[in-house]
Amino acid sequence: MAVKVTWYGHACIGIEVGPHHLLVDPFLTGNPLAAASPDALRPDYILVSHGHGDHVGDALEIARRTGATVISNFEICNWFQAHGHTNVHPHHIGGGFSYPFGYLKLTIAHHGSALPDGSYGGNPCGFFIKTVEGPHIYLACDTGLFYDMKLIGEEGVDLAVLPIGDNFTMGPDDALRAVKLLTPRKVVPIHYDTFDIIRQDPYAWADRVRAETSAEPIVLKPGESLTL
């Protein structure tokens, strides 16, 4: 069975692994590029990379409605529990767990993580997932470039999802260097164009990836999917 990956705009990603639906950083309400209504999504798992509003987004409402398991760091999981959603699975950086959809590990991310209400959100993270269907997916989430991406690449990355927006995260130049460290088979750019301050040309970036690396860049429009 294939693994289907959908970009819902900004940093919101859907991943379908067989019958298991994962939703990452569901910022949809107030997201000018949102390609789905939060009410339309029925995830079994919600992954939250850090506490910022453009990532936590609608996660609490979707979790309450669906009963989905929230996967995040310990502090953010505590915040969901304090807000009445008890079905959480806390991790911390470097820690993995075998879920029905695959082995998921939290990776480092250089960023902030305060929650929208000012609560402490622990350390931000990315996610590395070895799906039960085979493909390995690395979601860098909000981060600057770090050389340890080379270690993640050593595990074999079929798809890397990288921010290219600059200002708050890696920009196009560092995201290109990230591709060289990760050596993924495919790479999808995200976290751009949502706001004026992170406007980028993803097609120009994809041309550079094609010219300088062996990765296949895939520019999705919000709402579009790819299959691994």
Structure tokens, 228: 């691994």
Q: Which is nearer to Mn ion, 58 or 142 (CB)?
A: 142
Q: Which is nearer to Mn ion, 69 or 169 (CB)?
A: 169
Least separation in angstroms between CB 166 and Ni ion: 13
User: Strand order of the sheet with strand 13-17?
Assistant: 88-91, 69-73, 45-47, 20-24, 13-17, 3-7, 225-227
Q: Which is nearer to Mn ion, 44 or 142 (CB)?
A: 142
Residue 150 φ/ψ, nearest 5 degrees:
-60, -40
Burial code (b: 16+ CB inside 10 Å, e: under 16) for 167-200 equals ebbbbbebbbbbbebbbbebbbbbbbbbeeebeb
Per CB under 5 A, the segment of 99-107, 118-126, 139-147, 208-216 that binds Mn ion is 139-147
Q: Of these partners, Mn ion, Ni ion, none, which one is at the site of residue 91 (CB under 5 to 8 Å by kind)? A: none
Q: Which is nearer to Ni ion, 58 or 142 (CB)?
A: 142
Contact call for residues 93 and 123 (beta carbons, < 8 A): yes
How far, in Å, are 4, 135, 139, 191, 227 from residue 186 at the CA level? 13, 11, 12, 17, 11
Least separation in angstroms between CB 38 and Ni ion: 19
Q: How many residues bind Mn ion (CB under 5 A)?
A: 2
Least separation in angstroms between CB 75 and Mn ion: 17
Count Cα neighbours of 17 within 13 Å in the Cβ-side half-sphere: 20
Contact status: 142 vs Mn ion (CB under 5 A)? yes
Least separation in angstroms between CB 49 and Mn ion: 8
Residue nearest to Ni ion (CB): 52
Give residues 24-63 in contact with Mn ion (rule: CB under 5 A): 54
Least separation in angstroms between CB 161 and Mn ion: 13
Q: Which is nearer to Ni ion, 103 or 195 (CB)?
A: 195
Q: Applying CB under 5 A, which residues contact Ni ion?
A: 52, 142
Contact call for residues 153 and 181 (beta carbons, < 8 A): yes
Structure tokens, 10: 């900004």
Which parts of this chain interact with Mn ion (CB under 5 A)? 54, 142
